[in-house]
Amino acid sequence: MAEYLTNTADLTAVANAIREKGGTSEQLACPDGFVAAIQAIQTGAPLQIAVTTNAGATVTATKGSKTVSGTADTSGHCTLTVDEAGTWTVTTATASTTKTSDVVVGISNVDLLPVDSVFGNNSWAAIIKACKEKQVPDTWNVGDSCNMTINNKTYAIDIIGKNHDDYADGSGKAPLTFQMHTTYATQYKMNGVERNDCGWKNCLVRIFNAFPKLKQVMPAEVVAALKGVTKKTTAGNASSAIDTTTDTLFLLSEIEVQGTRTHSYAGEGTQYAYYQTAANRKKNRAWYLRSPRINSTSCFCRTGWDGEADWSVASEVDGIAAAWCF
């Protein structure tokens, strides 16, 4: 076996090259330390940081004097390729928000969705994240709205309640309840015939047409994040018995809007904070409620054009304003 003479300067140069490539500052003992450090160096796939943030945000990763940057696409995704392992500081910035996180790089995913203190300035991805983590800013208030595109049409979506609805899985209160500010462009019947014996539980809006179709045209990220809440509604057919359902999209009951009962039975929830202001009950047209009409076998409650308590025969088409929680 041939033997070679070397010197400290040469060994140090080799060790420094290994440390730089491996993203480490550890002391390396020759030869075993050199071998182990070389074997630990990642090869093959590039080192990447996959960032989720707001669409259009500037994304920057820094490590010492090194900087890599990019711009999030329309889905809020940005992947940065870096040239060495180790800890990188990743920052996302929009016109109004900045968020920073340290990432240990191999192939790393980092969620840096900044949450704006103004509700309407947020993406729905950021709103969903805040709800799921139960970290809703105190500055998001009942009555605030944010736009959503549904079937190529823009709708304002209101916060109508805070900590109002119970998650059906028993995990507590939904931090926010949302509802369409105006009725959906398509009108629907509650039942195909002049009967309300289907109740809310088995009505057309809930089971067969409106809400199944609405989910097909709402943003995919919104539909995926919908979380079931418990709603109580009388059974219909002039019965005061209560059906309990788990709903990811729902219509409101009469008392949840009006705060009092005029055409409905008791036991269908409590008024949302948004509707304590009478002017908020008036939408762009009359809109169906999920409450079967009291002492009736053919009608459901609705809110009239004027925002007052009203009712309609179940087979008549009318407006719907979907509500939901994340």
Residue 134 lies in a domain: no
Residue 40 lies in a domain: no
**216 and 106 together in one domain:** no
Q: How many other C-beta atoms lie within 10 A of the C-beta of residue 62?
A: 15
The C-alpha torsion from 36 through 37 and 38 to 44, rounded to 10°, is: 110
In this structure, is the dihedral angle defined by the CA atoms of residues 260, 257, 169 and 175, taken in order, positive or negative? negative
Distance CA 160, CA 257 (A): 10
**104 and 224 together in one domain:** no
In this structure, is the dihedral angle defined by the CA atoms of residues 8, 9, 10 and 15, taken in order, positive or negative? positive
Pick from 139, 168, 127, 142: which is nearest to 271 by CA?
Answer: 142
**217 and 319 together in one domain:** yes
pLDDT at 103: 87
pLDDT at 13: 79
pLDDT at 40: 66
Residue 38 lies in a domain: no
**282 and 224 together in one domain:** yes
The full length of the chain comes to: 326
**216 and 302 together in one domain:** yes
**98 and 176 together in one domain:** no
For 3, 7, 40, 50, the CA distances from 28, given in Å and listed in that order, are 21, 15, 13, 32
**199 and 245 together in one domain:** yes
**86 and 184 together in one domain:** no
Residues 271, 244: contact at Cβ < 8 Å?
Answer: no
Helices (H), 226-308: 254-258
Q: Helices 8-22 and 32-40: crossing angle, nearest 10°?
A: 20
Domain boundary among 111, 132, 164: 111
Question: Residue 104 is part of which domain span?
Answer: 47-111
Which CATH number is 77's domain given?
2.60.40.10
In tens, the pLDDT along 263-303 reads 999 999 999 999 999 999 999 999 999 999 999 999 999 99
Residue 68 lies in a domain: yes
Distance CA 215, CA 178 (A): 15
Distance CA 289, CA 294 (A): 13
Residue 190 lies in a domain: yes
pLDDT at 113: 78
- Predicted TM-score (pTM) of the model is 0.72
**185 and 289 together in one domain:** yes
Q: How many domains does the chain have?
A: 2
**97 and 213 together in one domain:** no
Residues 324, 250: contact at Cβ < 8 Å?
Answer: yes
**300 and 226 together in one domain:** yes
Report phi then psi at 82, rounded to 5: -115, 160
pLDDT at 130: 96
Residue 22 lies in a domain: no
Distance CA 305, CA 284 (A): 7
Going by C-beta distance under 8 Å and a sequence separation of 6 or more, which residues neighbour residue 154?
Answer: 147, 148
Pick from 168, 141, 165, 145: which is nearest to 156 by CA?
Answer: 145
Coil, strand or helix at 242: strand
Distance CA 210, CA 4 (A): 81
Residue 133 lies in a domain: no
**92 and 145 together in one domain:** no
Which ranges of the chain have pLDDT less than 50? none
Residue 286 lies in a domain: yes
